[in-house]
Structure formats: structure tokens, C-alpha cells
């Protein structure tokens, strides 16, 4: 009860003091009325250093959407994924589709399909990630990353507080909810200066177990985050802890389908990213991350260190080169990867 009161207090405070709200899609709707087309294309080469090495050219993401404002006080946002390497087949599918009532800048309301408002890296648009891949802990413990629901949000980069709280199906991307339970997901950020913030997230959920003889499934997530962007250096990090009883999801990042696993588990992980903006449009990047897929198992930690370089040809075109060095406590295996990605936004 005390924890619930603290959460309510934080979101009431954010509601009172936030001044402008930001959308939860990959880009802000423009101020003009009418249809505005946007999107981005990420072509990629992967070389996997397995026992039997593999290499592949493909599309990491190929997305196109429309957005804009409608008089008065409404905006819309629709985004499609068209990459044939997603969803196990050469077909386009809907990622985001939501309508926002934005008359009150400190408390906008969105309804539809959108990203879960949990954590820093998940809510960084795919085309703005500092490394090619999201962290394993984020992909594992924020699944499903997209869902249907209703969200209240407010705040911007220039306000002391930003917040978002959503009631969501909990079933994933455009999947029908088979029961009356809903997930509650929230995030709040405190921004004392224009160059740093700290924040926290939570998720509470319940669903009916497929086996009627067993109790309901329960999900709990807590996260903490920070970011500092000062003197051309950017440092950011995030920690996530999760408990699941009955069943839980594994994987499912960036629109892919998560796998349902039966059982109880406690998981946790973190990442820290450091990059430097040079005068030559080059960003050297290093990211350390770890993930424990079952805290109750000894020597179960997985660690990945990403060494990367980002080069910006212009505002719309970026080249990323990443090398992922992976290490496992239990048993060292060959699973390092070299990735090269060229991205164009429009």
C-alpha cells in the first residue's frame, strides 16, 4: 500500500507541473494539418562468429508511416513495418496506430497501439539508438514492447518532470486479450538541468493461466535510468528487475513475437553506454551490458560489450559499425557478431 501511494504521488506531481507532452511514436506529429509521410530504411550486413560462421545482408527495419494534426486538438500516428526479415515472412504489418487528444499540454491522452512506456532504451526510437541492437535485458524484460491500450502522458525535454502511465492489454502487438485483466505501466523522469535526467519505471500485470488448475500469471517490473549529455559526452544507463509467476515472455523486441515459457522466474540486468561527439560527425561508442535470465541459478550472468562507431553523412543518413563481444559465466561459446548498418530517414 505504501509503494502504491508513492507511485500515485509521483504521477500526480508530474501531472501538476509538466508543461508539454511528447508523443510515444518514432517522431513528433508536425504542426501543419493534413497527411505527413515519414519513415526510415536500415540496410544491414551481419557476420556471426559462431562455430560455423554465418553472414547475411538484409533489412533490419524498413518502416513507413503517416502522421499529422486534425483540428481541433487531435493528432494521429500510423507506422508500418515492411521488412521481410521481421515476423517470419515477406509481409507488412502494423506497428503503431494511435490517436491523441492534445488540448492540454500537461496531460495528453492517447489510445491505440503504441510502445510500452517503460524505461529509457525501449522508448528511444529505433532510428536514434546509439548501438545497432537494443540491450538484451531491455528486449527480454520489456516484452511485449508494443501493446494496445490507453495512455496519459505529459512533459517534454524542457520541463522539470515528464511522465507517462498506461493501461494495456498485456498480450502484445495487436493480439486479442482473452481475459479482463490489464497491465499498468508507468515511467517518470526528473530533469533538474537541460543536460541530465534520472527516472524510474514500473509494470504490474496479471493474466489467466492457460491451465485452469493453476493460479493466475503475474508480472512485476521495476526499472531505474539516468542520462547525462555534457561537453560532447553522453553517458546513459538503465537497470531492470523482473519477477514472473505462472508464465513469462522471452524475447520479442522491435516488433518480433515473444516466446511464452511456463514457470516462475526472477531476472535482472543493466547497461551503460558512453559516446563522444567529435567535430567530424563521428561518434565512438562503447556499451557494456549484462543479463541474468534466472537469478536463482549460479553463474548464470551473460555479458556483452559493444564497440562501435557512428558516422553521420548528414542529418538524415547514418552509418553504424558495431562489434559485439559476448561472454557467459556458465560456459563460453562462440557468439560474437560484427554488424554494419546504413540508415536513411525521410
Kindly list the distances between the CA atom of residue 292 and the CA atoms of 89, 92, 289, 298, 326, in Å, as whole numbers in the listed order.
Answer: 31, 34, 11, 10, 13
Sign of CA dihedral 208, 211, 212, 213: negative
Q: Rounded distance, CA 217 to CA 262, Å?
A: 10
DSSP, residue by residue, 16-40:
HH------SSSSPPPSSBS-EEEEE
Domains assigned to the chain: 2-345 (2.40.160.10)
Q: Rounded distance, CA 189 to CA 204, Å?
A: 19
Q: Which three cell numbers stand for residue 176?
A: 486479442
3-state secondary structure (DSSP) of residue 239: strand
**How would you class 157 by CB atoms within 10 Å of its CB: exposed for 0-12, middle for 13-18, buried for 19 or more?**
exposed
**How would you class 263 by CB atoms within 10 Å of its CB: exposed for 0-12, middle for 13-18, buried for 19 or more?**
exposed
Sign of CA dihedral 19, 25, 27, 30: negative
Q: Rounded distance, CA 63 to CA 214, Å?
A: 41
> Chain-centre distance of CA 339, in angstroms?
20
Q: Rounded distance, CA 240 to CA 126, Å?
A: 20
Q: Rounded distance, CA 271 to CA 143, Å?
A: 17
> Chain-centre distance of CA 269, in angstroms?
15
What ranges in the chain are assigned the alpha helix state H? 2-17, 136-141
Q: Is 228:196 a contact under the CB 8 Å cutoff?
A: yes
Q: Rounded distance, CA 169 to CA 179, Å?
A: 9
Task: Report which of 262, 155, 285, 259 is spatially closest to residue 211, judged by C-alpha positions.
Answer: 262
Q: Which three cell numbers stand for residue 258?
A: 515473444
- Residue whose C-alpha cell is 563522444: 276
Task: Report which of 122, 120, 126, 134 is spatially closest to residue 196, judged by C-alpha positions.
Answer: 120
pLDDT tens for the chain, 346 residues long, are 444 444 444 443 333 333 333 446 666 555 566 789 999 999 999 999 988 899 999 999 999 999 999 888 999 999 999 988 776 666 889 999 999 999 988 999 999 999 999 999 999 999 999 999 999 999 999 988 999 999 999 998 889 999 999 999 998 888 888 899 999 999 999 999 999 999 999 999 998 887 777 788 999 999 999 999 999 999 999 999 999 998 776 666 565 666 777 778 999 999 999 999 999 999 999 999 999 999 999 999 999 999 999 999 999 999 999 999 999 877 778 889 999 999 999 9
Q: Rounded distance, CA 165 to CA 187, Å?
A: 6
> Chain-centre distance of CA 286, in angstroms?
19
- Residue whose C-alpha cell is 523482473: 242
Amino acid at each position: 500500500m505504501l509503494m502504491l501511494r508513492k507511485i500515485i504521488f509521483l504521477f500526480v506531481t508530474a501531472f501538476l507541473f509538466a508543461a508539454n507532452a511528447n508523443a510515444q511514436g518514432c517522431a513528433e506529429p508536425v504542426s501543419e494539418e493534413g497527411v505527413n509521410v515519414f519513415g526510415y530504411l536500415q540496410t544491414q550486413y551481419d557476420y556471426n562468429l559462431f562455430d560455423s560462421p554465418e553472414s547475411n545482408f538484409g533489412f533490419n527495419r524498413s518502416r513507413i508511416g503517416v502522421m499529422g494534426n486534425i483540428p481541433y486538438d487531435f493528432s494521429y500516428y500510423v507506422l508500418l513495418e515492411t521488412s521481410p526479415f521481421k515476423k517470419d515472412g515477406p509481409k507488412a504489418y502494423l506497428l503503431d496506430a494511435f490517436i491523441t487528444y492534445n488540448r492540454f499540454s500537461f496531460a495528453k491522452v492517447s489510445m491505440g497501439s503504441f510502445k510500452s512506456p517503460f524505461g529509457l532504451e525501449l522508448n528511444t526510437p529505433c532510428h536514434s539508438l546509439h548501438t545497432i541492437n537494443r540491450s538484451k535485458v531491455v528486449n527480454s524484460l520489456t516484452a511485449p514492447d508494443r501493446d494496445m491500450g490507453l495512455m496519459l502522458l505529459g512533459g517534454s525535454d524542457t520541463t522539470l518532470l515528464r511522465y507517462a502511465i498506461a493501461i494495456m492489454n498485456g498480450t502484445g502487438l495487436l493480439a486479442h486479450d482473452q481475459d479482463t485483466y490489464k497491465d499498468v505501466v508507468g515511467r517518470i523522469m526528473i530533469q533538474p538541468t537541460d543536460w541530465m535526467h534520472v527516472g524510474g519505471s514500473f509494470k504490474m500485470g496479471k493474466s489467466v493461466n492457460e491451465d485452469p488448475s493453476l493460479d493466475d500469471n503475474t508480472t512485476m517490473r521495476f526499472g531505474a535510468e539516468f542520462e547525462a549529455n555534457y561537453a560532447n559526452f553522453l553517458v546513459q544507463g538503465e537497470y531492470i528487475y523482473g519477477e514472473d509467476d505462472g508464465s513469462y515472455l522471452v524475447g520479442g523486441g522491435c516488433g518480433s513475437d515473444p516466446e511464452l515459457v511456463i514457470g516462475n522466474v526472477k531476472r535482472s540486468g543493466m547497461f551503460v553506454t558512453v559516446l563522444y561527439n567529435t567535430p567530424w560527425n563521428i561518434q565512438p561508442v562503447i556499451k557494456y551490458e549484462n543479463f541474468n535470465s534466472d537469478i536463482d541459478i549460479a553463474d548464470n550472468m551473460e555479458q556483452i560489450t559493444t564497440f562501435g562507431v557512428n558516422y553521420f553523412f548528414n542529418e538524415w543518413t547514418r552509418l553504424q559499425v558495431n562489434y559485439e563481444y559476448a561472454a557467459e559465466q556458465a560456459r563460453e561459446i562462440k557468439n560474437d557478431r560484427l554488424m554494419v548498418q546504413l540508415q536513411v530517414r525521410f
